[in-house]
């Protein structure tokens, strides 16, 4: 596949590649220069908690999580 460098120096990954690999906007990549004209692009792994705050913020309403009564674990 071919792509072009924009005037801002950005390279667009073709949609087919993004769909096949589940690449979403904002994901980070490492670029390594191998030799003149040869480069390696590797997607960085996200942190284990990536997106957690957004997920928790999407809670439908305040008070959604309600504590329940349970026996103390001290007696086990």
- Structurally, how many domains does the chain consist of? 1
**Average pLDDT, 10 consecutive residues per value, the chain (76 residues):** 91 93 90 94 81 77 72 71
- Domain range for residue 13? 1-65
Read off the CATH number of the domain in which 48 is found: 2.10.260
Helices (H), the chain: 15-21, 52-57
User: Has residue 71 been placed in a domain?
Assistant: no
User: Has residue 74 been placed in a domain?
Assistant: no
Task: For 41-70, give one letter per residue: b (16+ CB within 10 A) or e.
Answer: eeeeeeeeeeeeeeeeeeeeeeeeeeeeee
User: Has residue 73 been placed in a domain?
Assistant: no
User: Has residue 48 been placed in a domain?
Assistant: yes
User: Has residue 4 been placed in a domain?
Assistant: yes
Alpha carbon distance 11, 5 (integer Å): 5
Alpha carbon distance 58, 56 (integer Å): 5
Q: Are 32 and 39 in contact (CB under 8 A)?
A: yes
Looking at residue 41, what is its pLDDT? 92
Its pTM surpasses 0.75? no
């Amino acid at each position: 596949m071919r792509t072009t460098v924009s005037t801002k120096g950005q390279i667009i990954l073709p949609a087919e590649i993004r769909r096949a690999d589940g690449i979403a906007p904002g994901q980070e990549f490492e670029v390594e220069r191998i030799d003149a004209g040869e480069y390696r692009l590797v997607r960085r792994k996200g942190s284990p908690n990536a997106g957690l705050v957004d997920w928790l913020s999407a809670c439908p309403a305040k008070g959604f999580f309600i504590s329940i009564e349970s026996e103390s674990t001290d007696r086990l």
